[in-house]
Structure 1
Amino acid sequence: MRFNLKVPFAEKDQAKKLGARWDAGRKIWYVEGKEDMAPFSGWSPTPHAASVADVQTQQSKVYVGSEYVEQPRVCDCPPWEECDKCRPLSLSSQG
């Protein structure tokens, strides 16, 4: 069974030595197939962290990383192009 971990960047090497692996697609550390989870107990998500994620989802913002906020997409054009739907929301038009 897979267990996701909340490993601070400063402790990534320690987690890696204990057998944690980095999931680049989800940007999260995890362990899989470990019988003894005691060494990883300091990095397991807390119930409070789950409730914070629920609040962030209710605000219709997607939080990636510690402070990055990704706005929901309005259209299907590539991010480097601006169509009529996304032009009013682009950073270049807000300046």
Structure 2
Amino acid sequence: MRLNLKVPFAEKDEAKKLGARWDAGRKVWYVEGKEDLAPFARWSPTPLDASAAEAPAPKRAAARHVDSSGKAYVGRNYVAHPRVCDCPPWEVCDKCLATALKN
């Protein structure tokens, strides 16, 4: 079982000596697989603390798509529009001029 800890920066070396590990993705100290959690009791989060539950992995920003109407489609609402021509997206040819975004 994993237990996230609230370790102040000044006490990180002490926690590391006792066996705590740093999760860089979640930016939290934790212990896992320890039978005796007594040495870590002072860093144990309170039940009302946000870090008491296992911290979720950081979320990445959703990709946004903007069509010519200016409406952004995000996540499951994303709709892929068929290509009008084979020109690169940064160039506007005569075929795709009608669907190109206006500056």
TM-score (norm: length of structure 1): 0.53
Q: What code does the residue aligned with 1:12 have?
A: K
- Counting only pairs closer than 5 Å after superposition, residues 49-64 of structure 1 correspond to structure 2 as 49-50=49-50
User: Higher helix fraction: Structure 1 or Structure 2?
Assistant: 1
- SS of residue matched to 1:40: helix
| Higher RCO (C-alpha 8 Å, min separation 6) | 2
What amino acid is aligned across from residue 39 of structure 1 in structure 2?
A: P
Q: Give the superposition deviation at 1:14.
A: 0.4
Query: In structure 2, which of residues 52, 59, 63 is the aligned counterpart of residue 76 of structure 1?
Result: 63
Deviation of the 1:47 alpha carbon: 1.7
Q: Within the alignment, does 1:3 sit opposite 2:6 as a pair? A: no
Within 1, Cα distance between the matches of 2:48 and 2:7?
A: 16
* Between 26-35 and 41-50, the greater mean CA deviation after superposition: 41-50
Q: In the alignment, what sits opposite 2:36?
A: 36
Structure 1 outlier segments of 4+, above 4 Å: none
In 2: Cα distance, 1:31 partner to 1:76 partner: 35
SS in structure 2 at match of 1:25: coil
Q: Which runs of 5+ in 2 are unaligned?
A: 51-60, 65-69, 72-103
Separation in 2, partners of 1:48, 1:2 = 18
Deviation at 1:48, TM superposition (A): 2.8
Correspondence 1:23 to 2:23: yes
Return the alpha-carbon distance in structure 2 between the equivalents of residues 3 and 47 of structure 1.
12
Structure 1 gap segments, 5+ residues each: 51-72, 78-83, 86-95
Cα displacement (A) at 1:17: 0.3
Partner of residue 14, structure 2: 14
Aligned partner of 1:46 in structure 2 is: 46
Count of equivalent residues: 61
- TM-score of the superposed pair, with normalisation by structure 2: 0.49
Identical aligned residues as a percent: 77
